[in-house]
Amino acid sequence: MAQKNTLLTISEQTGYSVSTISRVLSGKAKTYRISRETETLIKEAAQRLNYQPNLIAQTLRTQKSNTVGLLIPEVDNPFFASLAGIIIGILHSRGYHVLLADSRESARDEVQELRMFMSRSVDGIICIPVSSTPDFHEHVSSQIPMVLIDRHFKKTSLSYVCTDNYAGSRMATEYLLDKGYKRILAIQGVPDSMPNKERVRGFVDAIGVHGVDYKIAGNAFSVENGNREILAAFSGGREYDAVFAFSATILLGAIDALRRLNLRPGKDVGIISYDNNGFLDFMDPAVTRVEQPLREAGKVAVDTLMEIIAARRAGHPDPASRQILIPPTLVVRGSC
């Protein structure tokens, strides 16, 4: 029934000018001295015609879209998907729409998607960055409010909120060491990403103190990577008595490979992981792991973004760059 009704339609129906209609419907009736009867008349017409403002035109004119661009490395990855879900939920509750894109762990695609966000006039951007140089991101941020989450750059003025991956990794490793494991294999994710680097650092530092055998292998937050690295590490005759998986996806691959090698995860080989997935409690055995406070991180990120947006709208300088590391927690179960 209701077709594309524009301000013009209402104007023709009521006899008032398009500008008057616009002012009434955007709640600016008082400021522009529109009489009360005109106001209700117009509102009724709008109601009757089931008028819906064209958000595209609105955005073009006002340069604000009520939309936030969310850029994650991979939609397929359950960790990013779940973090994205959390952030989207928060953004919706704040009245923002969400454009979701993924960079497929590629710096080129990342640039392209960020450009796309800019040409779409998003009001802000939340980004899990992929590239290792902040240059382009700083440029984007100079045009559109942006905050990073989960990953960040070393030297940058960008605001970010991540969890303390160094602390988390160190905590996990020390737990393994306390348990008496002597030959530890860490399977990492994307090597250049900051969380991964920090986890490696935490792992090495923890090991360093105790001086046990260890190895760091792998290169992706994927099931295949976990699988491959276990097979490679255990088929060389050189075996490990504990495995530290840097993500749940890696973990699944690792467990699968171990079973294939007739090694019982949790018994023959100690297992510890990084991730929040609720399924970890129901696995065989339940997995001891480092959990990150994702919901809190998401909230802080969105809040920070909102503040930057508000500041720029008001013509103020950005709030001081907020660079936050939230401490993760060790959830002890029976896998090591």
Partner DNA sequence: AAAGCCTGCGCAAACGATTGTGCAAATTTG
Partner DNA sequence: CAAATTTGCACAATCGTTTGCGCAGGCTTT
Residues that bind a second copy (CB under 8 A): 1-4, 52-57, 59-60, 65, 67, 75-76, 78, 81-82, 84-86, 88-89, 92, 97-102, 115-116, 118-121, 139, 143, 223, 252, 255-256, 277-279, 281-286
**How many Å is the Cα radius of gyration of the chain?**
26
Q: Min. distance of Cβ 279 from a second copy in angstroms?
A: 4
Q: Is the peptide bond before 293 cis (omega within 30 degrees of 0)?
A: no
65 binds, among DNA, a second copy, none (CB under 5 to 8 A by kind): a second copy
Residue 51, H or E segment: none
Report the alpha-carbon distance of residue 67 to residue 167 in Å, rounded.
35
- The CA-based angle 29-32-36, given to 5 degrees, is 40
Nearer residue to DNA within complex by CB, 60 or 310: 60
Q: Is the peptide bond before 317 cis (omega within 30 degrees of 0)?
A: no
Nearer residue to DNA within complex by CB, 38 or 219: 38
The residues of the shown chain that bind DNA, judged by CB under 7 A, are 4, 6-8, 15-20, 22-23, 25-26, 28, 32-35, 38, 51-54, 57-58, 60-62
Report the alpha-carbon distance of residue 186 to residue 243 in Å, rounded.
6
Nearer residue to a second copy within complex by CB, 19 or 50: 50
Q: Min. distance of Cβ 26 from DNA in angstroms?
A: 4
232 binds, among a second copy, DNA, none (CB under 5 to 8 A by kind): none
Q: Min. distance of Cβ 193 from a second copy in angstroms?
A: 20
Report the alpha-carbon distance of residue 111 to residue 130 in Å, rounded.
10
CB burial of residue 171 (10 Å; 0-12, 13-18, 19+): middle
Q: Min. distance of Cβ 317 from DNA in angstroms?
A: 22
25 binds, among DNA, a second copy, none (CB under 5 to 8 A by kind): DNA
The dihedrals phi and psi of 234, each to the nearest 5 degrees, come to -95, -15
